[in-house]
């Protein structure tokens, strides 16, 4: 969020935010049941949020990239319902909720922008979960990759490259798929030349074809696209 602010707003925001708190891999920023008293912004690294159900089942609810806001679960009642964990070494900025009132006195427009950022993030997560619930396995993974690519690009990274800092098990859990299915689809996309994989780095070599799978569940030919657009 900070990179979109004008100078005066940036100074006001910077004065209230606790900067560059280092985090270690596997470190938890909060746990279910902790008080909701601050917002987090990813400065560096990768984070995952998850919740534990009464039967002990773990559900990965999201992944958080540099530049993004975290810790928006159960905001209405002031108690976290999820866990937030660092997947690698990184750093976060913290904005105590108590500071937002001070922020409103300094720059009301900035608070409005903050609320819009929160609303946009919540909407994005809801839209993604709704779409994924209606898709087949290959389409789910294609949408997940495109979403990661778009979000990485917003933070200044190459939109054709993705760093897979999360495990395939976490991805499978998040998408409601088997790990073997994730591996099979990735291998298929690689065999078709749609992407390349180098350890945990993925390059979208034919992004247009991946977008076709994300939208239609398959690679559409030129004639099919023309008929769909007619």
Model pLDDT, residue 58: 95
Residues in the chain: 230
Q: Give the CATH number for residue 8.
A: 2.60.120.10
Same domain, 109 and 36: yes
Same domain, 119 and 176: no
Same domain, 117 and 21: yes
The two structure tokens encoding residue 188: 């298929």
Residues in the chain predicted with pLDDT less than 70, given as ranges, are 1-18, 220-230
Model pLDDT, residue 154: 86
Instruction: Please tell me the distance from the alpha carbon of residue 109 to that of residue 106, in angstroms, as a whole number.
Output: 9
Provide the number of structural domains found in the chain.
2
The last residue of a domain, from among 75, 91, 125: 125
- CA 102 from chain centre, in angstroms, equals 29
Model pLDDT, residue 14: 62
Model pLDDT, residue 85: 97
Model pLDDT, residue 6: 46
Q: Which residues are registered as beta bridge partners of 41?
A: 69, 93
Q: Which residues are registered as beta bridge partners of 203?
A: 161, 196
Model pLDDT, residue 208: 95
* Contact criterion met (CB below 8 Å) for 152 and 162: yes
Same domain, 178 and 146: yes
**Which pLDDT tens digit goes with each residue over 185-230?**
999 999 999 999 998 899 999 999 999 999 988 875 434 544 444 4
Same domain, 116 and 157: no
> Residue 15 is part of which domain span?
2-125
């Amino acid at each position: 969020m900070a990179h979109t602010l004008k100078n005066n707003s940036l100074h006001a925001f910077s004065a209230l935010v606790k900067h560059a708190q280092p985090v270690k891999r596997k470190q938890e920023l909060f746990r279910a049941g902790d008080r909701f008293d601050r917002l987090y912004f990813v400065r560096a690294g990768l984070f995952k949020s998850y919740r534990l159900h009464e039967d002990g089942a773990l559900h990965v609810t999201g992944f958080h990239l540099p530049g993004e806001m975290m810790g928006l679960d159960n905001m209405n009642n002031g108690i976290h319902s999820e866990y937030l964990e660092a997947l690698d070494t990184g750093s976060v900025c913290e904005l105590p909720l108590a500071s937002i009132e001070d922020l409103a006195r300094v720059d009301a427009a900035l608070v409005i922008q903050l609320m819009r950022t929160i609303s946009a993030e919540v909407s994005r997560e809801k839209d993604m979960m709704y779409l994924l619930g209606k898709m087949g396995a290959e389409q789910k993974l294609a949408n997940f990759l495109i979403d990661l690519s778009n979000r990485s690009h917003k933070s200044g990274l190459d939109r054709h490259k993705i760093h897979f800092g999360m495990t395939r098990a976490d991805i499978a859990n998040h998408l409601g798929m088997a790990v073997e299915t994730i591996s099979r689809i990735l291998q298929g996309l690689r065999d078709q030349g749609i992407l390349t994989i180098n350890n945990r780095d993925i390059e979208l070599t034919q992004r247009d074809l991946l977008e076709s799978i994300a939208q239609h569940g398959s690679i559409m030919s030129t004639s099919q696209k023309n008929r769909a657009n007619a």
